[in-house]
Amino acid sequence: GEDVEQSLFLSVREGDSSVINCTYTDSSSTYLYWYKQEPGAGLQLLTYIFSNMDMKQDQRLTVLLNKKDKHLSLRIADTQTGDSAIYFCAERAPRGGFKTIFGAGTRLFVKA
């Protein structure tokens, strides 16, 4: 989507860390999300962060938020082949009735 941008592809080796980046344009965004989509499945919520936080950690996942630069990142530690999927960044903002706007998704390839 034009309001949320992500790089389309990322390739890493098993055991390495993956960092997926996202930029958004609406400074009033209140919630920022990361979703994972595996082939043939719907989107699964991985984690989310409130706009008044700058970091959130959940097991292998670390989310960093830089509000000044409107930049969000997802770090996956010790990446496994099962992490291969499409990762979507999404924002919710008061405009448009708290509509969730998705990025185009980053395709993560994990090589064994």
Partner 1 sequence: DTAVSQTPKYLVTQMGNDKSIKCEQNLGHDTMYWYKQDSKKFLKIMFSYNNKELIINETVPNRFSPKSPDKAHLNLHINSLELGDSAVYFCASSQENRGVGPLHFGNGTRLTVT
Extract the tokens encoding 104.
């185009």
- If one asks whether residue 98 binds partner 1 (CB under 8 A), the answer comes out as yes
Could you give the CA distance from residue 108 to residue 111 in angstroms, rounded to a whole number?
10
The answer to whether 105 and 87 have CB atoms below 8 angstroms apart is yes
Q: Choose the binding region for partner 1 from 9-17, 30-38, 55-63, 66-74 (rule: CB under 8 A).
A: 30-38
* Of the candidate residues 1, 12, 70, 75, the single one contacting partner 1 (CB under 8 A): 1
Extract the tokens encoding 91.
């924002």
- If one asks whether residue 82 binds partner 1 (CB under 8 A), the answer comes out as no
- Spatial CA neighbour of 88 closest among 70, 108, 68: 108
For partner 1, which is the closer residue by CB, 92 or 110?
92
Contact set with partner 1 (CB under 8 A): 1, 30-31, 33, 35, 37, 40-45, 48, 86, 88, 92, 96-100, 102, 104-105
